[in-house]
Structure 1
Amino acid sequence: MSGQDHGGPAAAQTDGPAELVAGRYRLLRRLGRGGMGVVHEAEDVQLGRRVAVKMLTAVEGLAAEDVAWERFQREIRALARIEHPGVVTLYDSGVHEGVPYLVMQVLDGASLADLVVATGPLPASAACTVALGITDALEAVHATGVVHRDVKPSNVGVTGNGRVVLQDFGLARLAGESAITRTGALVGTPQFMAPEAMTGGPREAAADWYGLGACLYLMLTGELPFGRTTDVGAIMERALDEGIRPLTASDAVPRPLAHLVRELCRQDPVLRLTDASVVRETLVPLMYGGTQDLADLVTRHVRAEAVDAVRATAVAARGASAVAEEPEYEWDQSGSLPGVADLMSPVTLSDTTRRIVLGSMTPQGALSRQREAVGLVQRGQVREAARMLAVVVQVCLSKLGPDHPTTLTGQYWQAVCLARLDAGDKALEMLSRVNRRVAGRADRTDGTDD
């Protein structure tokens, strides 16, 4: 969750042999990609813990006096100065083969952007819980003299227990220091960017509070502040002209929240609400039960991802099995598993990515990854295990066959993941198929021995 641009359970897997960064961090899979670089889940081989490694490829090969290099240095200083449960923790930093990197805590859960895409508008209680988490984080950040500069839904993480974490300080700078944006460059996300930032003005703490207001708008409405257009010019024109449209109070949007969004999103930073205590006064009375509501939303989202991973495996199973028997799964014309029509369409590897993954990972590598996944399950990191197994099982089906013990073991642990994510019906379906395969192997073995 410590990155953006999620590509689905299977697409996130790293291809080929795992790269070792700085002789210490073994890259496992890509978590996301942003303007500054790529974020990977990795294993710290010295301490034996999971971490997120952010490779700042945009800084690669640049001189020390370059603006992008200076941005990297400021990011390190900004993150190192903050210690707060609502702010992602920086563990380490350095340069690997000319590319600067950051090592941060890896967070299991989902980004706010993913949640809203998957669920639509959030209940007011859940929206208030997220907003309060961002408020607490911003207060801590600003107290150290840091301005985040890119508060947006994809930079807000929500863990499985409903904890809210502000992450990706790739655009952060120290308050009061000169801007580090290239001349004429627009750094940030226009939909959630304060008007003064769009015109090249200084980005003080008020710009972060505007980002909070825009995030709250998205959570309450399920809509982007300036619509779904990707036309940066049109977004800037609206932001600088009429600004974000005021919300109308309703059952879904309590009047105090509509007022709060208006005050946070004022175009003039001088008039904008920037007092954390005043923000809390509005949020706290409306967030009863919000943490549980938020945790439930994340759980359902994670469960849907796990079921989608099984669907991807089913596609591979159909292509890999040469045995003339009933298919591993019965698919309807829409490509959905029976009984899960309410879930999103199945997630599968693209043809190109699938060829790369299946061609580069050896059976021994798949077995090693499978053992890693089992370890994740035993540590309670079920979502990450389900993602890893989605690719491992595809490799096993392709290279070892549907009856191989490693393939069957991988599918068994996929079923365990589904069961622990409360997708019990799908877990039972998979276990019954594994059991039939195991029984078939035993029958064939008995016949050979006779």
Structure 2
Amino acid sequence: MGGPGREGLPGGAPPSVPVLVAGRYRPVRFLGRGGMGVVHEAEDTRLDRRVALKMLTTVEGLTGDSEAWDRFQREARALARIDHPGVVTLYDSGVHDGTPYLVMQVLDGTTLADLASSAGPLPTTVVCTVALGIAEALEAAHTAGVLHRDVKPTNVGLTRNGRVVLQDFGLARLAGEAAITRTGAIVGTPQFMAPEAMRGALPERAADWYGLGTCLYLMITGELPFGPTVDYGAIIHRALGDGVPPLSGRRPDCPPDLCRLVDDLCRQDPALRRQDPESIRETLLPLSYGGTERLVDLVTDRARDGAVRGAWAIPDVPESVSRAEEMPEYLWDEAAALPDRRGTATDPFRPATLSDTTRRIVLGTMTPQSALARQREAVNLVLRGRLEEAAQMLSVVVPVCLTTLGPDHPTTLTSQYWHAVCLARLDAGRPALELFSSVNRRVARRTDGHDD
């Protein structure tokens, strides 16, 4: 793989990726970047299926006869042994040009981090449903001898049918020691990292249960355990000082048993932390009835709201763009179609809008031909039922078409039509009807010379 991403793009543009990984996996769309590497949606050319391809760029340079390579293989085999609906499925692993990669199932939905950022404190039934899913996934993994080591909201997937799936299992162990050696980085996220890990101890099962406790704290309060700061030093000071603020006695709207569970899971001393899966399940299960249905509604609402927000956006566009800021075509989806998910100091989970620099780059390099190509990709996503992804892509395609091609151009009108289809299928009836009406008026103007 190539070097670091370009500066100035949201989250940093991902490094260049091979056309074909291991002679089999063709990256087609950038999905995200984490502490361990980058993730692309890819096509498995051998089995003709969608997969998530994670390139562990923090551990580049592995050789087949190294101790790190042997450990990577052992851990990958352990991950593959976990057979549970709450754990993302690992299909394949290997090394491509010295960079380890993992091939996993693609999940359609959102993450707990994204849901919490938009919904705030969640209903108790949803909180307990999500927490129960995480707990059952952890129990299955621990039984298989695998620790997660980085349980946090961004690693909790929530599908459109209400399934809770824990992702990135074992990656902290797969890449941890090498990543620390190469970059001096902390493996994990301090807001959700167990105190013993901060002190340098090797995390054990208790650390995973601590992660569940901090996720519960976020879902119940709508707040990060140590406040809205991105200062690692301040977070670690609070975590090793007073620790996670206790919920018992402070949240009268939270069931007492649930408050006690959160406090028990977030204890600083791992020996005092609740770790018995059966005890955790006994607390969560009675409070989770009806939670799956409510969770489905929340995930659906988030997808619909995101589609609606992008339907009418028309950016301010400079008359010209410096050609020095050109973006390679393969980076268009990566930098523009996905929002910047770094967040802000006051709201680390809130997806930010495209930066002005990125918008100028996208607008300056978009052509009628490339807009049409992106529109076709979005239509294929619609036809395959991947409505949120299609709406997200079209929310960028439409404004670019409006600006560079004009409101009456066939590509613009067709893009708006398919965006309206997405909205309608995501149950956003009124915005969809308004967009359909707008398209019809424009078509009438093109054919008849006047508005109806």
TM range (shorter): 0.7 to 0.9
Equivalent residues of 1:87, 1:166 under 8 A apart: yes
User: What SS does the corresponding residue of 1:43 show, helix, strand or coil?
Assistant: strand
Distance in 2 (CA, whole Å) between partners of 1:154 and 1:219 is: 13
Distance in 1 (CA, whole Å) between partners of 2:316 and 2:382 is: 23
Give the letter for the 2:229 counterpart.
T
Query: Counterpart in 1 of 2:187?
Result: 187
User: What SS does the corresponding residue of 1:252 show, helix, strand or coil?
Assistant: coil
Distance in 2 (CA, whole Å) between partners of 1:18 and 1:372 is: 21
Query: Counterpart in 2 of 1:284?
Result: 285
Give the letter for the 2:28 counterpart.
L
Equivalent residues of 2:214, 2:225 under 8 A apart: yes
Distance in 2 (CA, whole Å) between partners of 1:62 and 1:441 is: 60
Equivalent residues of 1:156, 1:164 under 8 A apart: yes
Give the aligned CA root-mean-square deviation in angstroms: 3.4
Query: Counterpart in 2 of 1:128?
Result: 128
Query: Counterpart in 1 of 2:420?
Result: 415
Q: Report the TM-score when normalising by structure 1.
A: 0.81
Equivalent residues of 1:41, 1:52 under 8 A apart: yes
Distance change (3 Å), C-alpha of 1:180 and 1:262: farther
Distance change (3 Å), C-alpha of 1:169 and 1:117: same
User: Greater CA deviation, 85-94 or 430-439?
Assistant: 85-94
Q: 1:437: Cα distance to partner? A: 1.3
List runs of 5+ in structure 1 lacking aligned partners. 1-9, 321-344, 446-450
Distance change (3 Å), C-alpha of 1:182 and 1:98: closer
Distance in 1 (CA, whole Å) between partners of 2:359 and 2:21 is: 25
User: Greater CA deviation, 33-42 or 370-379?
Assistant: 370-379
1:158-307 superposed matches below 5 A: 158-169=158-169, 171-173=171-173, 182=180, 186-249=186-249, 250-307=251-308
Equivalent residues of 1:14, 1:27 under 8 A apart: no
Q: Report the TM-score when normalising by structure 2.
A: 0.80
Distance in 1 (CA, whole Å) between partners of 2:100 and 2:351 is: 36
Distance in 1 (CA, whole Å) between partners of 2:371 and 2:311 is: 17
Q: 1:160: Cα distance to partner? A: 1.4
Give the letter for the 2:265 counterpart.
L
Distance in 1 (CA, whole Å) between partners of 2:358 and 2:70 is: 35
User: What SS does the corresponding residue of 1:51 show, helix, strand or coil?
Assistant: strand
Equivalent residues of 1:57, 1:99 under 8 A apart: yes
Equivalent residues of 1:213, 1:265 under 8 A apart: yes
User: What SS does the corresponding residue of 2:271 show, helix, strand or coil?
Assistant: coil
Query: Counterpart in 2 of 1:441?
Result: 446
Distance in 1 (CA, whole Å) between partners of 2:262 and 2:90 is: 31
Query: Counterpart in 2 of 1:401?
Result: 406
User: What SS does the corresponding residue of 2:171 show, helix, strand or coil?
Assistant: coil
1:98-137 superposed matches below 5 A: 98-137=98-137
Distance in 2 (CA, whole Å) between partners of 1:366 and 1:76 is: 40
Identity of aligned pairs, percent? Answer: 67
1:362-441 superposed matches below 5 A: 362-441=367-446
Distance change (3 Å), C-alpha of 1:348 and 1:202: closer
Query: Counterpart in 2 of 1:309?
Result: 310
Query: Counterpart in 1 of 2:340?
Result: none
User: What SS does the corresponding residue of 2:272 show, helix, strand or coil?
Assistant: coil
User: What SS does the corresponding residue of 1:41 show, helix, strand or coil?
Assistant: strand
Per-residue displacement from partner, 1:11-30 (whole Å, max 9, x unpaired)? 99999999544454343332
